[in-house]
Amino acid sequence: MSTTSAIMRIIRTYSELPETDKGAVIALGNFDGVHRGHQAVIGEMIKIANTLGVSSAAMTFDPHPRRYFQPEIPLFEMTPGDAKSRHIDSSGTDIHYVMPFDINFSSLTASEFIEDVLVKGLGARHIVAGYDFVFGKGRTGDVSLLEQGGVEHGYGVTIVPAVQAQDGTTYSSTVIRKHIQEGRPRDAAELLGRAWEVEGEVMTGDQRGRQIGFPTANVDPGSYVMPALGVYAVWVGVTDGPTTVWHKAVVNVGRRPTFDGEGITVETHLFDIDEDLYGKILRVAFVDFIRPEMKFDGFEAIKAQIAADCVAAREILDAAAPNDITTPKQIAEAGNER
């Protein structure tokens, strides 16, 4: 099965832009995870842009402000870099403004952000933000200041209230991150609107998987938050330009205790595929947790357990097609349904 993505312009500055890149309806936020709450904000932005007949745009910040101010903290992002752009792109958004969050940008006061970035730089026609969006040096700007700026500078403002699941849970990056870190990918997927993924290049490993009959692709996890250590049933997307072809697989996230491994590895065994994957980009979409990481007494015990893991993963994945699990929802629909 293959999926393709539409073209979206990615712009990394707010200075000296051509008129074609200005005058949009802009959704503001960090949008880590691009979860159902974020989707409601983006969906509302697209709906307003369509009504006004102007471009739709989302603005995020890179690196994440928390990463900029606290570089020593553990990895926490669910959708770093290109992954966030891909999920925003899937909504049909025209422009993704990725603002470099550096010493200059982080020094902007809330009023300067409105005047220099939104008004003078981007010529925003309308701003859409979640109810809890804050901005500017010291996080002193809030949605009330955005609304006041709209009156002063002539742009429209729409504030999207908290979006909740049927059980009353507010969609939250913090809650989803906790599900991931504690090994609950199905709960994370329910709040995200799709399976959570780790995307990375296949790196050269130590070939131990091939030696025991289960060759694995060692995916570089980069700056992603790491899930609970253990074995998961996953769909793995092999990307080729804009196309992604999905395969059933099992993945081990861990330190490989049997071999005294160091550091976290993401090693996935793809079913029913014999292809050289080194150097390719894989998308590992987590469907369900199978078991925690274990230490074994030798190769035979490992082989027996991996075989059992593969059986379990196939059973899980037979009931979870990629169209249901890994293809991003139509984010624009989230805004219309709210």
Task: For residue 337, tell me if it sits in a domain.
Answer: no
pLDDT in tens, 225-240: 999 999 999 999 998 8
Dump pLDDT digits (tens) for 110-150.
999 999 999 999 999 999 999 999 999 999 999 999 999 99
Question: Does residue 224 share a domain with residue 149?
Answer: no
Same domain for 238 and 125: no
Residues 226 and 158 in one domain: no
Radius of gyration of the chain (CA): 21
**Same domain assignment for residues 104 and 202:** no
* Domains contained in the chain, number: 2
Q: 185-192 and 173-181 are packed helices; what angle lies between their axes, rounded to 10 degrees?
A: 160
Same domain, 153 and 203: no
Average pLDDT for 172-197: 95
Asked if residue 162 and residue 16 are part of one domain, the reply reads: yes
Tell me the three-class secondary structure of 96-119, residue by residue: EEEEECCHHHHCCCHHHHHHHHHH
The CB-based long-range contact list for 170-174 (8 Å cut-off, 24+ gap) reads 170/37, 171/35, 171/36, 171/37, 171/38, 172/35, 172/37, 173/30, 173/32, 173/33, 173/35, 173/78
Asked if 148 and 192 sit in the same domain, the reply is no
Cα atoms in the 13 Å half-sphere on the side-chain side of 218: 14
pLDDT tens per residue across span 139-182: 999 999 999 999 999 999 999 999 988 888 889 999 999 999 99
At residue 15, the 3 state secondary structure works out as: coil
Q: Which range has the worst mean pLDDT, 58-62, 122-126, 240-244? A: 240-244
Same domain, 162 and 189: no
Q: Supply the range of the domain harboring residue 118.
A: 2-166
Contact predicate 8/58, CB 8 Å: no
pTM: 0.87
Q: Tell me, what CATH number does 217's domain have?
A: 2.40.30.30
Scanning the structure block, which residue is given the tokens 């780790």? Answer: 198
